[in-house]
Amino acid sequence: MLMENLAYSWLFIFYNILALVLLVQGAIWLFYPAPFYQFLVSACKLEYRPPIFVKTTYSLFLLGTITLVAGFFLRSGADVLFGIGLIVMSYKLVKYLNHWDWLRTIIPDNPKPIKRFLRQLGLFTLVIAVVVVLLIYRLVQSGS
């Protein structure tokens, strides 16, 4: 019973924070991708992978693992699936970070495709925010 309450509390707090962050970041990328593109261009001047991308990937893997375990305690297929999705997303990010030497030569030379990609990423992020809101609704309905 204690683990179920802890899992419920974790998922409720995590989903609310994640939905807010995804909503704000998705709107920024969708409607105004230029500042993040400028950040990418400045990051391309670095010889090594940008530390913020590495930390984000590690954090995404850790949060995905915790969500996966919490989903098992709540016996919730949707939460387990979402946790697996976060882990797979962190794996994909690691693959991109492994190709950083190649990517950093492409990004500064192609502003239009990169900004279009950022807009598409913003739209995808907004869709994921809606999915997280639906997970929050389902979690609240199952908890009451």
Q: What is the pLDDT of residues 74-92, one digit of tens each?
A: 787 888 888 888 898 889 8
Confidence of residue 144 (pLDDT cuts 50, 70, 90): low
Q: pLDDT over 90 for what percent of the chain?
A: 12
143 has pLDDT over 80: no
User: Cα separations (Å) of 69 from 38, 49, 61, 64, 77?
Assistant: 38, 30, 12, 9, 11
- The pLDDT of residue 27: 92
pTM confidence score = 0.79
Averaged pLDDT score across all residues of the chain: 86
Least confident of 10-14, 32-36, 56-60: 10-14
Distance from C-alpha of 133 to C-alpha of 122, rounded to nearest angstrom: 17
Looking at the structure of the chain, the number of domains it has is: 1
- The pLDDT of residue 96: 84
Q: State which residues form the domain around 65.
A: 2-143
Q: What is the dihedral of CA 52, 56, 23, 89, to 10 degrees?
A: 140
Total count of residues recorded for the chain: 144
